Amino acid sequence: MPIADRLTLNIMFENKERTSLTELGEFGLIKHLTEHFKIAHESSVKGVGDDSAVLNFDHKQVLISTDLLLEGIHFDLAYVPLMHLGYKAVQVNLSDIYAMNGMATQITVSLGVSSKFPLEAIEEIYKGIALACNKFNIDLVGGDTSASRQGLVISVTSIGYAEKDDVVYRNGAQEGDLLCVSGDLGGAYVGLQILEREKQIFLENPQLQPDLEGKDYIIERQLKPEGRKDMVDLLAQLKIKPTAMIDVSDGLASEILHICNQSEKGCTIYEDKLPIDPMTYETARELGLDPTVCALNGGEDYELLFTIKQSDYQKLKNDIDVSIIGHITDKNEGVKMISKSNVVHELKAQGWNAFKK
C-alpha cells in the first residue's frame, strides 16, 4: 500500500529473520523494543528500565488517558499494517489529551500477543509507535507485555499537562456559544468501508488486487489519523480558550450529545455547515451511503469539537481548518440539526458503542 511507503523512521531493528518471542522472554522483549527510545522532556525524570516511571510536572495539572485496542474489535489485521496500528494506537490517546486543551508528553504501551506473532511483527508495531513519538515529541516511559490467547491487544496510556486555568472540560458550554469543529468529518468511516469492501472481494477471489486508487486520503484517515495538537497550538496563539471541548472519536452526533448532556444545554447544528471532504462525499455516494450520516455517526476522525464565546468569533472566522457548525441553546430546546431542506431532525448518538451488539 502506498501509504505504508510514507511511514519512515530513523531507527531500525537489526534482525532480518523470524524470531520467536520465547527467545527473548518478557524483560528481554521490553528492552529490545524500547532501548532506541530517547527521553526528550525534562518532566520525564525516569523512563523505561525501573519499577516505575518518574515524572515531574511542577505545579501544572497532570492529564492522563488510557485506550484499549483489541484485535477483531477495534482493528482487522487483514488490512491494517502493523506499523500503522502502532502509530494509530498512540494517536487515539494523544487526541484525548489535546481534547482537554493540554500538551501530551509521555506514553506507556502494553501489549498482549499470541504465539502467532514473531518478534519482527512486534517490531513493526513499535516502528509506528516510535514514528508517532518522534513526530509529536512524546517520551515512551513504560509499559508491559504479556502472552494473549485472544489475539493482539494494545493498551496505551497518555500523560500530559496543562496550566490549571487552561484545562477545558466537556461541561462548560454556555447558551449562545458557537459550536466549532476542526478539519473534516466522515473520511475515516468511509475509508473503513472501502477497506472492508476490498477485504470481501479478496476473500472471494484472492487473485484480485485491492482497488484503492484515488482513495489515499480517506484510507489514510482510517489507518493513520493525526491528533490535532496543531489546533491546541492555534487556539493558544489566538488567545481563545474553548468553553467546552471533546475529540470526535465515536461520531460527531455522539460527541455533541456528550457536551450538551454534561453542560446541561441544548444545541442546533446545520447540515450545510458540516465539513465533508469531496473525496469522502463522492465515495460515500458511490457506496450508497449518505455523506451526512457518515459525518454524524462514522467516528474515528479524531478532530476536535469545541465551543467558543461569540466574542471570540472574529479571532477564528478566517481559519479555513475550523468550521462553525451551530450554536448552544437552552436545554429545553433539545439537540437538533436543521437539514439542507430546512427540516428539523433530532440528533441521536448512532456512532461507535463498545458494548453494542
Q: Each residue's pLDDT tens digit in the chain (357 positions)?
A: 344 444 444 445 565 566 665 665 555 565 666 566 676 767 766 555 555 556 778 888 898 888 889 999 899 999 999 999 999 999 999 999 999 999 999 999 999 998 888 889 999 999 999 999 999 999 998 888 888 887 899 999 999 999 989 999 999 999 999 999 999 999 999 999 999 999 998 888 887 777 788 899 999 999 999 999 999 999 999 999 999 999 999 999 999 999 999 999 999 999 999 999 999 999 999 999 999 999 999 999 999 999 999 999 999 999 999 999 999 999 999 999 999 999 999 998 775 454 454
- Map out the domains of the chain as residue ranges: 2-166, 178-346
Q: What is the architecture of the domain spanning 2-166?
A: 2-Layer Sandwich (3.30)
Q: Is the pTM of this model over 0.85?
A: yes
Q: What is the 3-state secondary structure (H, E, C) of the chain?
A: CHHHHCCCCCCCCCCCCCCCHHHCHHHHHHHHHHCCCCCCCCCEEECECECCCEECCCCCEEEEEEEEEEECCCECCCCCCHHHHHHHHHHHHHHHHHCCCCEEEEEEEEEEECCCCCHHHHHHHHHHHHHHHHHHCCEEEEEEEEECCCCCEEEEEEEEEECHHHCCCCCCCCCCCEEEEECCCCHHHHHHHHHHHHHHHHHHCCCCCCCCCCCHHHHHHHHCCCCCHHHHHHHHHCCCCCCEEEECCCCHHHHHHHHHHHHCCEEEEEHHHCCCCHHHHHHHHHCCCCHHHHHHHCCCCCCEEEEECHHHHHHHCCCCCEEEEEEEECHHHCEEEECCCCCEEECCCCCCCCCCC
Class of the domain covering 178-346: alpha beta
